[in-house]
Amino acid sequence: QVQLVQSGAEVKKPGASVKVSCKASGYTFTGYYMHWVRQAPGQGLEWMGRINPNSGGTNYAQKFQGRVTMTRDTSISTAYMELSRLRSDDTAVYYCARGEDFWSGYYNYWGQGTLVTVSS
Amino acid sequence: EIVLTQSPGTLSLSPGERATLSCRASQSVSSSYLAWYQQKPGQAPRLLIYGASSRATGIPDRFSGSGSGTDFTLTISRLEPEDFAVYYCQQYGSSPFTFGGGTKVEIK
């Protein structure tokens, strides 16, 4: 069965960086885009971008351009999302998510979420 | 960027009643690439509907989606106790993929 297992909660200071991992299992990792979505406390969902695990190609939401880097390690079927120059309003749960097929922009599968808290 | 506006913000209904949730896009959503999700506290979202009207695997038929262009609707025909949650629409027809602000369906 498809599983996306994310790394644990993080506490960071403003200005620092955070790197969240998402380990995939139960399917061919390189066969599906991996997307990242975040949710601030009590707020809605926000799409951050996606990575093609086969090529490493990325698409980022303009809001995060210059601060976000999505990478992958195909040898261990793991995707990463790194966010730099953290601010307090980056406090959120970060999810990785996968679609039904390679190009799907809707998500059948989600990681359990990683809470990132930015606080001085 | 396509902005999705969901209404109402909160819907107060009783079990057994019908729920009608609206999602309006700031511009046409190409090929009806619109999805609906349900989210309960502390959980990841769960896909209900994709392609505006196709139910995801395992979703009960009391959930239905309709619409095209800029106006979309999620209908829950008869609310079950487990349906009280927050619902989000999402468009994936053009990047950046965007979500609506959500509609909370609460018990009256």
Distance of alpha carbon B52 from alpha carbon A106, whole angstroms: 11
Region A89-96: mean pLDDT is 98
Residue B30 in this model has a pLDDT that exceeds 90: no
Q: Give all strands of the β-sheet with A3-6 in edge-to-edge order.
A: A3-6, A18-25, A78-83, A68-73
Cβ-based contacts of A110 with chain B (< 8 Å): 44-45
- Give tens-digit pLDDT for A25-80: 999 999 999 999 999 999 999 999 999 999 999 999 999 999 999 999 999 999 99
Cβ-based contacts of A107 with chain B (< 8 Å): 35, 37, 45, 47
Residue A102 in this model has a pLDDT that exceeds 90: no
B84 DSSP assignment: -
- Give tens-digit pLDDT for B35-92: 999 999 999 999 999 999 999 999 999 999 999 999 999 999 999 999 999 999 999 9
- Cβ contact, residue pair A105, B92, below 8 Å: yes
Would you tell me how many other CB atoms lie within 10 Å of the CB of residue B17? 14
Residues B72, B21 contacting (CB under 8 angstroms):
no
Map residue A88 onto helix, strand or coil: helix
How close A39 gets to chain B, by Cα (Å)? 10
Q: What is the pLDDT of residue A101?
A: 87
Residue B31 in this model has a pLDDT that exceeds 90: no
With tokens 């025909």, the residue in question is B77
